[in-house]
Amino acid sequence: MESWSAALPHALPGRGRELALFDTSSGSVRPTAPGKQATMYVCGITPYDATHIGHANTYVTFDLINRVWRDSGHAVRYVQNVTDIDDPLLERAVATGQDWRAIADRETALFREDMTALNVLPPDEYIGAVEAIPSVASKVEQLQASGDVYAVDTDLYFRVRNDPRFGSVANLSESEMIEIFAERGGDPDRPGKEHPLDCLVWQSERPDEPAWDTPLGHGRPGWHIECAAIALDYLGPTIDIQGGGSDLAFPHHEMGASEVHQLTGEWPFARHFVHSGMVAWQGHKMSKSRGNLVFVSQLRHEGVDPMAIRLALLSHHYRSDWAWTPHGLEGAAERLARWRAAVELPYGPQSDAVVERVREVLADDLRAPSALDAVDDWVHSALTAGGSDPTAPTAVAHLVDSLLGVRLIS
Ligand code: 5CA
Ligand code: ZN
């Protein structure tokens, strides 16, 4: 599937620090990316509605990681999926009388536009679930051959109990897992399952639903195996980061890691499982199913500068849950105007210290709010005391563009 494009970040003088990040599985902040090439798989959207601020927050988080890695000298290989076939898409198609493919194409195109506007670097591979169906089917066949898959009626399920590591991504108790599984697309109570947490890997054709012809029969993939298969195909059995919002830690990343483990024998699938916090609006987590959404495209059409949206997101640490407010966006727009005024000055205070500080705090589990404070300090001095360095304003603009992804000058 077509990705989107963005200008590569300016190379900054010197080299950034190695990034340490919180890993959900170990519950600790640890260094990332031991090799020259860093690999990252970020779960993409289910395109049945437009990109909302919660999505934007998640993709901007992983964009920061991409930028910090590049600044510290790593080549980055970044893969993202699009869940372009799944129940919510079919439900939306029935509810609105549209073709599910038309919805997926339209919302994916809008997502690309929103990501471009937010200056999010594109993945190297952007892969749809539909295009991954042959690969998913062959991996399910492999799991069948190893005894990791069984049939319930005409559907196929993964035996989580076969994997001794199952449970070690999200570290939840069995009762917590069962409760959350039911809330997030799982079916713990389906009769005929061997264990409530066994997850669907292949769903046979249902009346009036799309299905694909594969050696497993006519049907479509389960959700978790989709990402496991795409990540394996494009990145291999061990990657540096698998990422998404915190609602993906369980069951999605737990199940995917187990499936990869059973397929390859390798553990852990990701050296870091990285999860960003949830953004709320009107008192609840922003979600397509609840409908309490603020869309990126809507704000853009109202004339909001996407760089102000980006700054509003970056003013919260990526792991915290927070609530979107119009006031927060206004504050970000004011900050953006101040920063732009400062980098347009002919002279400014020396910039080495702010470059160093931004690198330091971002490398420490992406402390973006502290990075904004550091730039604020430089901007304040530039606008009040002034400075005598003619190269500093451009250097700070490049710093902010490269590492924070906020374009100050064109
Ligand atoms: N297609 C699957 C992943 S394979 C999926 O979860 N799609 S999604 O469209 O529902 O979500 C896309 C990403 O946005 C996920 O990482 C999810 O965790 C994140 N996300 C969804 N809602 C919010 C929210 N309110 N705040 C922050 N992130 C969110
Ligand atoms: Zn996924």
The answer, yes or no, to whether any atom of ligand 1 lies below 6 A from the CB of 247, is yes
Atom 23 (ligand 1) nearest CA: 54
Atom 7 (ligand 1) nearest CA: 45
116-120 average pLDDT score: 98
Distance 9 CA to ligand 1 centre (A): 26
Q: Is residue 8's pLDDT more than 90?
A: no
Atom 11 (ligand 1) nearest CA: 45
What local confidence, expressed as pLDDT, does residue 42 receive?
98
Distance CA 343, CA 357 (A): 18
| 248 CA: nearest ligand 1 atom | 18
What local confidence, expressed as pLDDT, does residue 7 receive?
84
What local confidence, expressed as pLDDT, does residue 278 receive?
97
The answer, yes or no, to whether any atom of ligand 1 lies below 6 A from the CB of 375, is no
Q: What average pLDDT does the structure give for the chain?
A: 97
The answer, yes or no, to whether any atom of ligand 1 lies below 6 A from the CB of 136, is no
Distance CA 159, CA 200 (A): 10
Q: Say what the pTM is.
A: 0.98
Q: Find out whether 5 and 43 touch, Cβ atoms under 8 Å.
A: no
Distance 331 CA to ligand 1 centre (A): 26
- 235-276 per-position pLDDT tens digit: 999 999 999 999 999 999 999 999 999 999 999 999 999 999
The answer, yes or no, to whether any atom of ligand 1 lies below 6 A from the CB of 275, is no
Q: Find out whether 159 and 198 touch, Cβ atoms under 8 Å.
A: yes
What local confidence, expressed as pLDDT, does residue 150 receive?
98
Angle between helices 352-363 and 53-71 (to 10 degrees): 110
The topology (CATH level 3) of 301-404 is Four Helix Bundle (Hemerythrin (Met), subunit A) (1.20.120)
The answer, yes or no, to whether any atom of ligand 1 lies below 6 A from the CB of 245, is yes
The answer, yes or no, to whether any atom of ligand 1 lies below 6 A from the CB of 130, is no
Distance 256 CA to ligand 2 centre (A): 8
Sign of the dihedral defined by the CA atoms of residues 161, 41, 322, 83, in that order? negative
- 191-214 per-position pLDDT tens digit: 999 999 999 999 999 999 999 999
Q: Is residue 289's pLDDT more than 80?
A: no
Q: Is residue 223's pLDDT more than 80?
A: yes
- 167-197 per-position pLDDT tens digit: 999 999 999 999 999 999 999 999 999 999 9
- 121-163 per-position pLDDT tens digit: 999 999 999 999 999 999 999 999 999 999 999 999 999 999 9
Atom 3 (ligand 1) nearest CA: 43
CA 239 distance to own-chain centroid:
15
Buried b (16+ CB within 10 A) or exposed e, 337-370: ebbbebbeeeebbebeebbebbbebbbebbbbee
- What is the token pair recorded at 283? 């008192």
pLDDT range class, residue 291, cuts 50, 70, 90: confident
| 244 CA: nearest ligand 1 atom | 16
Tell whether omega for the bond before 268 is within 30 degrees of 0, i.e. cis: yes
Sign of the dihedral defined by the CA atoms of residues 288, 332, 119, 351, in that order? negative
What local confidence, expressed as pLDDT, does residue 329 receive?
98
The answer, yes or no, to whether any atom of ligand 1 lies below 6 A from the CB of 58, is yes
Instruction: Give 244's strand partners.
Output: 275
Sequence spans of domains, the chain:
301-404
Radius of gyration of the chain (CA): 22
Q: Is residue 32's pLDDT more than 90?
A: yes
Q: Is residue 287's pLDDT more than 90?
A: no
- 53-80 per-position pLDDT tens digit: 999 999 999 999 999 999 999 999 999 9
Rounded to 5 degrees, φ, ψ at 150 are: -140, 165
- 9-25 per-position pLDDT tens digit: 989 999 999 999 999 99
| Count of residues in the chain | 410
Rounded to 5 degrees, φ, ψ at 74 are: -85, 145
What local confidence, expressed as pLDDT, does residue 46 receive?
97
Distance 21 CA to ligand 1 centre (A): 20
Distance 181 CA to ligand 2 centre (A): 15
What local confidence, expressed as pLDDT, does residue 197 receive?
98
What local confidence, expressed as pLDDT, does residue 141 receive?
98
352-356 average pLDDT score: 98
What local confidence, expressed as pLDDT, does residue 290 receive?
87
